[in-house]
Structure 1
């Protein structure tokens, strides 16, 4: 995930008045453990040391979706088929990847925070691994709809890391209201995003898992992008997957970036 702090300029991302930190692992606030039989599409995006860097989700036998800003962490593989990152069989659960970052991504503040990871071999779908559907076209999510965000790691700010997958229910926020909230922090909300939380929300992601799914019903509607240092009054921001359906379809059809 991204933690954003006011009044500092981070030159590498050219975001004056903001400092953006990537964080390892995930933090799902006030979440609960995901049963082994559910959410079989969630992927752990990992570096060359086998460390969890970002979340992701399987959409077909050979593609995982994650956030474009995770590219900076140099992910080289994904793990599928387990909710416990202490129980990884590299021979059957780990897949090397080729990264297909959205060509118009520059920073989370400018949007297009989406990346496809092409797996080195097709996943064997079974009772431990199944893809999740994505929108078939542009989809307007309803204000105040209940969705779920999923990830590994911390369960509270300042807590200890857990390797068990957790999920939390979040409430979608009106885009105009979300835009106003972020405008007060001197950030123009990028296009093609979904907001959730705010109003002292008690659940969500925090210091947590970039690239993980925002699941509405049975559909991956969003991708964890950024928030403001766990501030419960500022909505969390997710990439709107429905706005990138044609791009995703093109990559999947070509089988390459």
Structure 2
């Protein structure tokens, strides 16, 4: 299936240092950034299940990855949704338990999650943020970037994907926003970041569509909506993990 894992911010701007203080860089054992994430409690960072690429550390407290002034915490355990098996089929959500609790301060904050299952309005204005390439074949950047995206209705999203991949059915537990008939959205390589609407994390960057014959996401001229995991559809599982119960 021609999907590509997501979230290099396209046509965004550098995020202000005093905003989006919940953002996390998920890094491997070498200290290389592999995915975005976001702090949801003193013990957990949320990200995408397909970010299970040997995550070892979480970096908090600074939007500039090369800065020495940041908090690096080892990941103690990872909890991938038990129904996840491949991107494009839903349940693309993972919780990373930190080796020690994090207390909010002037550079680190939690972000609120939905309290109940919810449906976003079409054209609702939201934001997505991440680190990395700013064009399809561009260079990686070290500063967090953010871009505004609009929510696309499930039916319009499904219609657009079916036109490109006949017979493909989107999972029911996703949100579509950006990347369609616009130059704004995410691209490959930095998934796991949050879709933020009205100050709340409602989605997790999951996938878009790649350029035929390559592993590159079609980020300069997106022809299908970007797809996010719908956090509100997984609240029972999230609460179970946050409360210390096994999945």
TM, length-normalised to structure 2: 0.90
CA distance in 1, matches of 2:73, 2:199: 25
- 1:124 lines up with 2:78 in the alignment: no
Deviates more, 1:152-161 or 1:37-46: 152-161
- For residue 98 of structure 1, report the CA deviation from its aligned partner: 1.0
> Which position in structure 1 is the counterpart of 2:213?
none
Alignment of 1:193-208 (within 5 A): 193-208=174-189
> Which position in structure 1 is the counterpart of 2:214?
none
CA distance in 2, matches of 1:95, 1:224: 23
CA distance in 1, matches of 2:51, 2:109: 23
Match of 2:208 among 209, 213, 227: 227
> Which position in structure 2 is the counterpart of 1:168?
147
- For residue 199 of structure 1, report the CA deviation from its aligned partner: 4.0
| Contact 1:118-1:256 within 8 A present in 2 as well | no
- For residue 93 of structure 1, report the CA deviation from its aligned partner: 2.9
* Equivalent position SS for 1:60: coil
CA distance in 1, matches of 2:149, 2:104: 29
Q: Deviations over 1:160-210 (max 9, x none)?
A: 111000000001101001111112213210120000125421111012421
CA distance in 2, matches of 1:65, 1:144: 25
CA distance in 1, matches of 2:179, 2:58: 31
> Which position in structure 1 is the counterpart of 2:58?
78
TM, length-normalised to structure 1: 0.87
- For residue 154 of structure 1, report the CA deviation from its aligned partner: 1.4
- For residue 97 of structure 1, report the CA deviation from its aligned partner: 3.4
| Contact 2:64-2:142 within 8 A present in 1 as well | yes
- 1:240 lines up with 2:230 in the alignment: yes
* Equivalent position SS for 1:98: strand
Q: Deviations over 1:106-135 (max 9, x none)?
A: 111210000000111001210000000000
CA distance in 2, matches of 1:22, 1:189: 15
Alignment of 1:1-257 (within 5 A): 18-20=1-3, 27-71=8-52, 73-88=53-68, 92-184=71-163, 185-186=165-166, 187-228=168-209, 229-230=217-218, 231-254=221-244
- For residue 159 of structure 1, report the CA deviation from its aligned partner: 1.7
- For residue 22 of structure 1, report the CA deviation from its aligned partner: 5.2
Gaps of 5+ in 2: 210-216
CA distance in 2, matches of 1:150, 1:225: 13
CA distance in 2, matches of 1:182, 1:19: 11
CA distance in 2, matches of 1:255, 1:22: 29
Distance 1:198 1:39, change over 3 A: closer
1 or 2, which has the higher helix percentage?
Answer: 1
Aligned length: 236
- For residue 89 of structure 1, report the CA deviation from its aligned partner: 5.0
